[in-house]
A and B are shown apart, each in its own frame.
Chain A
Amino acid sequence: MVLMRNVTKVYESSNTLALDGVDLTINEGEFVFLVGPSGSGKTTIMKLITGEVRATSGQVIVNDFDITNIKRSKLPKVRRTLGVIFQDYRLIENMTVYDNVAFAMRVVGASARAIRKRVPYVLELVGLEGREKRLPTELSGGEQQRVAIARALVNNPRMIVADEPTGNLDPVRSLELMLLFEKINEMGTTIMVVTHEKELVNAFAKRVITIDGSHIISDGMDGYFGYEFE
C-alpha cells in the first residue's frame, strides 16, 4: 500500500523540481502501471517508495510505515516489505541463480532451513527450475529478469516495485514477464510497474497512472491514453 499526500521533491544539488504536490494512493493487492516520459518524476516516485530519497514536503506512507522522516536505521524494516526490480536486473555475477535468490533471504537473517525450503519454490514459480546452478551470465535477458523477480519475491513482500523491467527484453519475453507479474498479483502482492511501453500497458486492463512535468496528469482503469511521451 502506498499513500502520498501533497508530495513535493526538489533535488537541491541541481535545484530540480521532480515532483510538485503529488497525491497518490495505491491500495493493497492492486496492479498499477506508472507511465511517463524521461524526467517526468517516475523514478523519483519509486525512490520515495523505497526510501532512497526523502520528500521535500508532504507525507509518504508505504505498507503502513510513515517514511516521510523515518530514521535510516528503521528503513530496512520497510524495505523488507518491498521487492524491487530494476531494468538492468542487478544480479551478482559471481553467484549462481540459487545464491542470488538465497542471498536476499540471508541478509534479512533467514535460517538455512527456511532458505532451502523457500528458494526452490520461488525459482519454480518464476519458471527457473533446473537453472539453479547457472551463473547470471549463462542466462538470457528474460531469464536474468526472472532471477531478479525471484529475488524480489523470496522474502514474501507486500509490494513489488519494478522499474522498466522489460526495458532490455523483446516483446514476447516482455509479455511473459507481465503475465508472471499478473500471476504474482493474483497471489495478493501489490505490483507497481514503471514502464514506457504502450503496447504492453494496453495488453492489460489495469490502472494506469500517467505522470509528466512533475504532476500526475491522469489516473484510471482505461489503459493507455495515447499520450505521446517521446
Chain B
Amino acid sequence: MSLSRSGYLIREGFRSITTHGFMSFASVTIIMACLIIMGSVSLLSVNIDVLIKDLENQNEMVAFVEDSVTDVEEARALSLYIEDTPNVANVEFVSRTDAMDAFMSKYDDSLMEGIDETVFRHRFVVTLLDISAMADTKLALENITGIAKVNAHLEYAKTFVTIRNVVTVVSLALICMLVFVSIFIMSNTIKLATFGRREEIAIMKMVGANNSFIRMPFIIEGLVLGIMGGGLAFFAEWGIYELLTGKLMASFTGSFISIVPFRSVALVVLILYLGTGVVVGAVGGTNAIRNYLKV
C-alpha cells in the first residue's frame, strides 16, 4: 500500500472520530468504564490470590515423631524422608524440649508443674507447596516409619481453595462479559458512523474499491477509540486503586493484610488495557462494517 493511500485511510479514520464527536466520546467512556470494572475485579482477584498464598504459607502441618524415638538426632534424621515427600515446601524440626519451652511461654507455668518434657514428642513443622493436595501429603507423611501422626487443618485448606476458585471463576466470567459488552457497544457506535456514510460506502463499492480499503478507516477509528479508552482507563484505575488501597491500609494498620502495590502490576495492567482496547476496537470496527460490504 502506497504512503499516500495509507495516509488517506488514516486521515479518514480520524475524520470519522471528529465528525461523530459525541458517539466517539460515548465509546471511549464506555470502554473506559468496562475496563475499569474489569481491571478492578482482576486486581481484587490478584490481591485475594496473594492473600490466600500468604495464608497458605501460614497453614502448616505438624508431623509428630513416635514416642519410641527419644534421641534427638535420630528424630531429626527423619527430616530427610519428609523433605522427599511430594508437595513439601519446607520442614522445620522442633525437639520435645523446644516444644515444651514454646508451650510454657504461651501458658501459665503452674500448668506444667510436675510434668517433664517427655510428655511432648519431637515434631516437624511442615509447610506445603499446594494446600489443595494437603490430604494426600498428610497420608504420605503418616506412612513414613517413625512418624506417629500428622495434624493438619484440612477444612481450612479446603476453604482457601474454594475461595480462590470462586474468585477466579467470577473474575473470568466478568472479564468475558465485559469484553463482549465493550465489543457490542463499539460495534454499534461504529455502525452509526457507517450508517451516516452508507452512501459513500455504496459509491466506493461501485467504483471498484475492495473491501479491505473500505474497512480500513473504520478499523482505524475503532483502534484509536479502543486505545484511547484503554489508556484513559489505565490512569483512572491507577488513581482509584491508590485511593482505595490507601484508605484500606489506613483502616487495617498493623493487620496481616498486605496489598499489592499498583506500580508492581502497572505494566501488565497497561498492556492488558491497551491490548483489550485494540481487540475491542478492531473487532468492533470489523463487525460494524460487515453488512455494508455484501453488495
Contact = CB atoms under 8 A, between A and B. Distances in A.
Contacts of A84: 206-207
A109 B2 contact: yes
* Interface-central residue, B207, B209, B211, B295, by most chain A CB under 10 Å: B207
Interface stretch (A29-37, A100-108, A118-126, A186-194): A100-108
Contacts, number: 51
Contact of A90 (B8, B199, B210): B199
A106 B5 contact: yes
B122 to A, nearest CB: 79
Interface in A82-124: 82, 84, 90, 92, 103-104, 106-109, 111-112
Interface of B is mostly: helix
Contacts of B202: 90
B206 A92 contact: no
A78 B5 CA distance: 21
B208 A73 contact: no
Contacts of A52: 295
A80 interface: yes
Interface string A180-208: 00000000000000000000000000000
B206 A106 contact: no
A131 to B, nearest CB: 19
B206 A79 contact: yes
A182 to B, nearest CB: 23
B207 A107 contact: yes
9 contacts: A50-B206, A72-B294, A73-B211, A77-B208, A79-B207, A80-B208, A104-B203, A107-B207, A109-B5
- List 8 A-B pairs, minimum CB-CB distance, nearest first: A80-B208, A107-B209, A79-B208, A104-B207, A112-B4, A76-B208, A76-B210, A107-B204
Interface of A: 50, 52, 72-73, 76-80, 82, 84, 90, 92, 103-104, 106-109, 111-112, 151, 155
Interface of B: 1-2, 4-5, 8, 199-200, 202-211, 213-214, 294-295
Given A76-B208, A106-B8, 19 more contacts: A72-B211, A72-B294, A77-B208, A79-B205, A79-B206, A82-B208, A84-B207, A90-B203, A92-B199, A92-B203, A104-B203, A107-B204, A108-B207, A108-B208, A109-B1, A109-B2, A109-B5, A111-B4, A151-B207
